[in-house]
């Protein structure tokens, strides 16, 4: 089991799949033990119920859902909120996996 878990969320779970691949490659190159996966917004509740998630990153196209996600993630990390952010638009557009991994680790304080 990976030490850290990063969940990406977008409208259908597909637009972030290439970014996930780039992030996994970057994390591997950095020697990080991490599970990175993408889901659609409709799958989030299922994943939260079945996995320990360390950070959630939203695709820019679902930024409007941020407040709903804040409510879902409240108190789920041993009483604390799971960190949440919108994926940096430039990093998303460039499919810069290393930058998004860095953004995620910054949010979880590593």
What's the CA angle centered on 51, arms 31 and 102, to 5 degrees? 35
List residues with catalytic annotation. 10
Residue whose entry in the numeric block shows the structure tokens 């990080």: 32
Q: Which residues of 75-105 are buried (b: 16+ CB within 10 A; e: fewer)?
A: eeeeeeebbbbbbbeebbeeebbebbbbbbb
Question: Residue 41 CB: number of other CB atoms within 10 A?
Answer: 17
Look at residues 55, 49, 47 and name the one whose alpha carbon lies nearest to residue 85. 55
């Amino acid at each position: 089991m990976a030490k850290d878990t990063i969940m990406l969320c977008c409208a259908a779970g597909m637009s972030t799949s290439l970014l996930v691949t780039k992030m996994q490659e970057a994390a591997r190159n950095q020697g990080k033990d991490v599970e990175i996966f993408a889901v659609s917004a409709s799958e989030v509740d299922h994943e939260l119920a079945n996995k320990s998630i360390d950070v959630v990153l939203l695709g820019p196209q679902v930024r409007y859902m941020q407040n709903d996600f804040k409510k879902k993630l409240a108190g789920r990390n041993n009483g604390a909120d799971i960190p949440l952010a919108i994926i940096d638009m430039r990093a998303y557009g460039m499919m810069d996996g290393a930058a998004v991994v860095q953004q995620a680790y910054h949010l979880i304080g590593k």
